[in-house]
Structure 1
Amino acid sequence: MMPAPATAPTAPVTPATPSRMKRHRTKEYTQLMNSRRWRRLRAAYLSAHPVCEDCEAQGRTTIATEVHHIRPIEERAGRPDDMQELAFNPCNLRALCRPCHIEAHRVLHSNSLSSSKERARAELSAFASAYLSE
């Protein structure tokens, strides 16, 4: 019997999973996400937007099970009033399926130029929709 050829070890790829993202969450963030106000807003948003918004944009129909904050609440860490404004603003929310939510966080934490430009476009679009539409 011949031994199997040796292969070079490869570094494991660590996906942006919710458990990996939790290490950046503050006490204030956890309190907001566990609040009755957030649970009610989340339920109402999923009721009003039952289909994953990213899948729908790609022509697929997938049930939305998670609510994503377009502008991360953590970016306002240390400013509880600003965190609440981001957390409970319906204009800052998107209904997503789990795979799209994980991908949204993967892209959000990417530092590539294309990802940065894409995030800037999304933020500008959200701002324009919230403040400039009639």
Structure 2
Amino acid sequence: MSLPPRICSCGRVVPHGERCECQRTMTRERNARHDARRPSAAARGYNHEWRKARTEYLAAHPHCRECSKNGTTRLASVVDHIIPHRGDKRLFWHRANWQPLCAPCHNSVKQRQERSL
């Protein structure tokens, strides 16, 4: 049994669980505005030295910490800063502030946590 579609605020009928094209467009535009104001990755410290340290850290800590809490084993692909460094180089490089995450956990669970701060 599938759930019924819904009506978007723009008036389109949208299948249950999907986003309307107008919502996807608004998200793309919002992200583009955010990216235009954001410094480049290199300017934020994500350079060759970081990539080397990240590779070494993931080799030593290969599994996603968030998935492990839920009893799942998934390979980590992101080194996340537990406390957002916000440009603080000391906090950026403090390895006790790093955690291995898979991309889905980093891009959903972690982002929700940071937005709630």
Q: What TM-score comes out, normalization by structure 1 length?
A: 0.58
CA 90–8 in structure 1, closer or farther in 2 if over 3 Å, else same: closer
- The AA in structure 2 aligned to 1:45 is Y
Aligned to 2:23: 12
- The AA in structure 2 aligned to 1:108 is E
Structure 1 residue runs of 5 or longer lacking an equivalent are 1-5, 78-82, 111-115, 117-134
Question: In angstroms, what is the RMSD of aligned CA positions?
Answer: 3.1
Aligned to 2:114: 108
Aligned residue for 2:74, secondary structure, equals coil
CA 91–66 in structure 1, closer or farther in 2 if over 3 Å, else same: same
- The AA in structure 2 aligned to 1:100 is C
Q: Comparing both structures, which one devotes a greater share of its residues to strand?
A: 2
CA 98–27 in structure 1, closer or farther in 2 if over 3 Å, else same: closer
Q: How many matched pairs? A: 96
Which has the higher relative contact order, 1 or 2, with Cα contacts under 8 A spaced 6 or more apart?
1
**Matches of 1:28 and 1:98, distance apart in 2:** 17
Runs of 4+ in structure 1 deviating by more than 4 angstroms, as ranges, are: 18-24
Q: Comparing both structures, which one devotes a greater share of its residues to helix?
A: 1
Q: Deviations over 1:66-101 (max 9, x none)?
A: 111111122xx4xxxxx2111111111110001100
Q: Equivalences for 1:1-134 in 2 at 5 Å?
A: 7-9=7-9, 12=23, 14=27, 22=35, 25-26=38-39, 30-34=43-47, 36-74=48-86, 77=87, 83-103=88-108, 104-110=110-116, 116=117
